[in-house]
A and B are shown apart, each in its own frame.
Chain A
Amino acid sequence: MNEVVGILPTLAEQTAIMLGIVALSLAFGGIGGLAIGTGLYVTRSGGVLEQRGVWWILNVLVNTVRPIPFIILLAALQPIGRGLVGTGIGTEYAIFAISVAATFGIARIVEQNLVAIPTGVIEAARATGASPWRIIRTVILPEALGPLVLGFTFAVIAIVDMSAVAGLVGGEGLGNYAITYGYRQFDEVVTWSALVVVVIAVQLIQALGNWLARRIMRR
């Protein structure tokens, strides 16, 4: 017990870092995933901005990046990270790599939720003379908002998972703390404390997501 109290300050610090990584990655990956997922949906045949060429490129891109195990992607993106964010190591680079992986993962989640929108409501909007961009903004995204929130909640948990490997490139966070100070130093109290914090964090995020989605869907 004393030991737990002793590690509490570090635990809190590392938890905050993990939540920071998750929040930023979710923001970047969420925006990227929303853009690519919506792009896939609107450019497919029958979509409001049907563009077979664009759809094909996006589809290949998503299918190429998504199956890469994250730990390999984390290593492989280093040259690109150096070019884009100025570093191939550390917490900042980890956020970059997680955002890339999250973008493509979220893209599919977004696409799948948009496909479920009844085509009739889009047709009704088209019949009023609404432009494709207006339809995306006022029909497609609002109609799918509830399921999208659930999809994003699902993605947050995947991001928490990815953030645990940030230590590989020298990133900090709860995952790195559990591996470096728990696993490598045979300190099970550290490992288990980190685990408990992660489980609680995930539970809270899931509950928040469910609550938000229920409110949006009014059920």
Chain B
Amino acid sequence: MAQHIVLDGVSKRFPPARRGGAEIVAVDDVSLAIEQGEIFGIIGYSGAGKSTLVRLINQLEPVTDGRITIGDVPISELRGRRLREQQTGIGMIFQRFNLLSSRTVAGNVAYPLEVVGMGRVERRARVEELLEFVGLAGRADAYPEQLSGGQQQRVGIARALAASPQVLLADEATSALDPETTAEVLDLLARINRELGVTIVVITHEMEVITRIADRVAVMEAGRVVETGTTYDVFTRPQTSTARRFVQTVVRALPEGDELSQLRAQHEGRFFTISFTDEGVSEARVFGALARAGVDFNLVHGGVDDIQGRVYGLLTIAVRGDAEAVDAALAQVGPGVTVEEQR
């Protein structure tokens, strides 16, 4: 696939808050290549610089260093009218929706169409089509405060899509929503990606958002991208401690500390953690090997997850029996499964 959004050595520094204070480095030498038509996730804790990074992509903030191109347009080098023309081709949705309270739903969705100079009749038809698409047909004359959070975000999405952008930026778009509404909004984003071919950049601190819709993900910490890869790879083989912490928010990863001592008090034997992906053999093989060796075991902790339609699991078992037989049995498991003893 063709590269769509390319960030090359991009930094953003803000002047010190106080005289003589240190400069604030919000984004530090970030290089990324986001492909045409993918959903690219950027995950990080608050303060990691991800919101600043996304504002550099549509140039709500100018870069301090580096270069950003969208398609073949060097957007980070444009100013004034030429920049604004490019911005009409990039939609953005926000955590707090940021709808105009002085306008109805239809008025909000029509806003970007007024900016691009579309005529009144065409505008009305386009607004109707967009509201239909996001499932808000019939609410055109409502005001934002009369809608639920999920509905307001749908209006935000319709507004972002109004001028038929090729890029959609979602800045913590589901962080203010409950889990059910979050799922609906994420499904809508996935549909936009699939049906309209829009490249979507999703900023979040929630790993569920990434595993649900992102094809690839970048992990940010202290202004830097510390890890990039397909969602499945980062999820199943996180390379950095930050990525591991995010993964653990979704799967019940490894029992640690108090939880581990409690499990040990409840279960006898040695503890092993089996991690498996759909690239290798299934966990059943591990269980089979143990059973054939005449070893007794209990499943004490863990879970299996579906990431972008692929399987990933982390299971911890308590094993009782002859130490040599256990080791021999576990040594036989095939590729794609790793077994690690918890000591």
Residue in contact with B84 in the complex, picked from A121, A129, A139, CB distance below 8 Å: A129
Contacts of A138 in B (CB 8 A): 111, 114
Count chain A residues whose beta carbon lies closer than 8 angstroms to a beta carbon of B. Answer: 19
B147 at the interface (CB under 8 A from A): no
Q: Is the CB of B58 within 8 A of A127?
A: yes
By DSSP majority rule, is chain B's interface helix, strand, loop, or mixed? mixed
CA distance A188 to B25 in the complex (A): 71
Contacts of A139 in B (CB 8 A): 100
Contacts of B116 in A (CB 8 A): 129
Q: Is the CB of B58 within 8 A of A121?
A: no
Count chain B residues whose beta carbon lies closer than 8 angstroms to a beta carbon of A. Answer: 31
B49 at the interface (CB under 8 A from A): no
Q: Is the CB of B115 within 8 A of A134?
A: yes
By DSSP majority rule, is chain A's interface helix, strand, loop, or mixed? helix
A212 to chain B, nearest CB (A): 14
Within A125-150, which residues are at the interface with B (CB < 8 Å)? 125-131, 134, 138-139, 142-143, 145
CA distance A131 to B99 in the complex (A): 18
Q: Is the CB of A142 within 8 A of B102?
A: yes
B282 at the interface (CB under 8 A from A): no
CA distance A125 to B87 in the complex (A): 10
Q: Is the CB of B114 within 8 A of A120?
A: no
Contacts of A127 in B (CB 8 A): 58, 60, 87, 90-92, 169
**What are 14 A-B contacts with C-beta separation under 8 Å?**
A120-B98, A124-B92, A124-B94, A124-B99, A124-B159, A125-B111, A127-B90, A127-B92, A128-B111, A128-B115, A129-B85, A129-B88, A130-B115, A142-B102
- Which B residues have a C-beta under 8 Å from some C-beta of A? 58, 60, 81, 83-88, 90-92, 94, 96, 98-103, 111-112, 114-116, 143, 145, 156, 159, 163, 169
- Which A residues have a C-beta under 8 Å from some C-beta of B? 118, 120-121, 123-131, 134, 138-139, 142-143, 145, 218
